[in-house]
Structure 1
Amino acid sequence: MKKYIFILFFIVTATTSAQNKDAKQVEHDFDAIDSLYREDQFYFSVSYCLMQSKPDGFQQNKFSPGMSLGFLRDMPINKNRTLALAAGIGYTYSTYNQNIVIISNNQNYEYQIAPDDVAISKDRFIFHTIDLPIEFRWRNSIPESTKFWRVYTGLKLSYLFYDEYKLETSSGNVSISNNKDLNPFQFGVYVSAGWNTVNVFAYYGLNSFFKSGTKIDGNPLDVNGIRFGLMFYIL
């Protein structure tokens, strides 16, 4: 009987020791630094919106705000994970306060610069787009910290899914949505740079808001967008 008790005691002791060792190993693995980290991020930006390639007499007469938000998937391409590619999806809201007037004529639109003798309280384009950003990333990140310097640059493809034009004057109001003269596909280049969460950014549109053939006062209406502001990255 003593022999069996000794064997049972030996088995229980060995099993308990192995379990304690495994538990310590699990705890060590749980606390280990992740050397294969990714910088997958949600982003949010606030911006000031401008139009370029302006027609004669064009003016932006009020502050034109914009904002965007989305998610980017990080794909490191070097051993130190300081270089990466990223792709994602997002949404952008942008406004352009200016002095282009749209006149509806038998389901067609005519464009002109607002006359000086017309009192205008609001003259605004509003664009809502779905964005597909693709970017190249540099950062001096390390596994132990999420605070680092970064420069991200890339190409953004956008689809205009809703637009609205609002004009308010002393003689009446005009509201137009889903303007058929607007180009539904937009694309541009951008760059963001900074430290930790807060970064500065700039975007430059490479194609016109309006389709080819759209004219203002007999000249091509070929305006593109620029936005600059602050970008916030959230892990």
Structure 2
Amino acid sequence: MKHLFLTIITVLSFWSTIGQVENDSIAEETDTKYREDQFYFAVTYNLLGEKPNGVSQSGFSSGFHLGFIRDFPLNKRRNWALGLGLGLSSNSFNNNFLIFKDGNNNYDYIVLDKNDINYTKNKFTTYMVEMPLQLRWRTSTAEEYKFWRIYLGMNIGYVVYNSTKFKGDIGNFKNNGIEQFNDFQYGLTLSAGYNTWNIYLYYGLNPIFEGISLNNEKVDMNAVKIGLIFYIF
């Protein structure tokens, strides 16, 4: 029994030594080749910029974003990198800008006044495939997973589905597949913070709609998003 015990201890020590060598080799490789590839999830409060006269928002307009970003380090220290990703998002905007079909089955647009029309819901929503592109700075190392970051870039989105929803005195109705929504929507982004918690900002560089006018004024509303983004390894 004593010899068996010594044999087991010897075998375990041998495998432990081999394992330590392998771990050291992996750590050495990781030191020179690690990446900050990340899944992300963001929750935003959505605002409308460049609103026409009379257009306003009410309630909470939400956005949800998720996807994956591939990291491409630019220097030996690996604290500068490019990030290229792919994701999905849904973006809702509660407002008083009504999109409806007229008697000829064409879309028309008015600004709602609660003194004239009482309503409880009026919103439009877009669902997009997104491609974030980032210039990344961080204080991470191969061994340190809690670090400061500043990611600047842009987000290019393609609208795969859009919808509107109205509930009020003139009825309840929904519309979808409205051609006047811009298929491509893109803007500047900033995410910054420490570890998992980071602020997220988006400023749209092109309008949400195309070819729409209101009281002879072109509608150039763009999306502005403020929220939190979580990076998960």
The bucket for the TM-score relative to the shorter chain is 0.7 to 0.9
Matches of 1:86 and 1:74, distance apart in 2: 5
Matches within 5 A, 1:156-195: 156-195=155-194
Pick from 30, 33, 42 the counterpart of residue 34 of structure 1: 30
Q: Which amino acid aligns with 2:59?
A: K
> Does residue 59 of the first structure (1) align with residue 34 of the second (2)?
no
List per-residue Cα deviations over 1:140-176 (Å, max 9, x = no partner): 1122211110000101110000111011112311211
Matches of 2:100 and 2:15, distance apart in 1: 80
Matches of 1:32 and 1:93, distance apart in 2: 42
Q: Which amino acid aligns with 1:47?
A: T
Pick from 30, 39, 43 the counterpart of residue 46 of structure 1: 43
> When the two structures are superposed, what TM-score results if normalisation uses the length of structure 1?
0.87
The runs of 5 or more residues in structure 1 that have no matched partner are 1-15
Q: Which amino acid aligns with 2:21?
A: Q
> When the two structures are superposed, what TM-score results if normalisation uses the length of structure 2?
0.88
Instruction: Compare 97-106 and 69-78 and name the one that shifted more.
Output: 97-106
Matches of 1:147 and 1:33, distance apart in 2: 20
Match of residue 87 from structure 1: 84
Matches within 5 A, 1:109-124: 109-115=107-113, 116-124=115-123
Q: Which amino acid aligns with 2:147?
A: F
Q: Which amino acid aligns with 2:221?
A: V
Does structure 2 conserve the Cα–Cα contact (< 8 Å) formed by 1:133 and 1:154?
yes
Matches of 1:182 and 1:227, distance apart in 2: 18
Matches of 2:173 and 2:16, distance apart in 1: 76
Q: Which amino acid aligns with 1:71?
A: F
How far 1:26 sits from its partner (Å)? 3.0
Instruction: Report the 3-state secondary structure (helix = DSSP H, G, I; strand = E; otherwise coil) of the residue aligned with 1:34.
Output: helix
Q: Which amino acid aligns with 1:140?
A: T
Matches of 1:144 and 1:93, distance apart in 2: 35
Q: Which amino acid aligns with 2:43?
A: V
> Does residue 142 of the first structure (1) align with residue 136 of the second (2)?
no
Instruction: Report the 3-state secondary structure (helix = DSSP H, G, I; strand = E; otherwise coil) of the residue aligned with 2:144.
Output: coil
How far 1:32 sits from its partner (Å)? 4.5
Q: Which amino acid aligns with 2:84?
A: A
Matches of 1:31 and 1:76, distance apart in 2: 18
How far 1:25 sits from its partner (Å)? 3.5
Pick from 87, 93, 111 the counterpart of residue 96 of structure 1: 93
Match of residue 71 from structure 1: 68
Q: Which amino acid aligns with 2:63?
A: G
Match of residue 4 from structure 1: none
Does structure 2 conserve the Cα–Cα contact (< 8 Å) formed by 1:129 and 1:160?
yes
> What percent of counterpart residues are identical?
38
How far 1:222 sits from its partner (Å)? 1.0
The runs of 5 or more residues in structure 2 that have no matched partner are 1-10
Matches of 2:224 and 2:135, distance apart in 1: 20
Instruction: Report the 3-state secondary structure (helix = DSSP H, G, I; strand = E; otherwise coil) of the residue aligned with 2:178.
Output: coil
Q: 1:27/1:206 Cα in 2 relative to 1: closer, same or farther (>3 Å)?
A: closer
List per-residue Cα deviations over 1:28-75 (Å, max 9, x = no partner): 424547212100000000110000111111110111111100000000
How far 1:109 sits from its partner (Å)? 1.0
Match of residue 196 from structure 2: 197
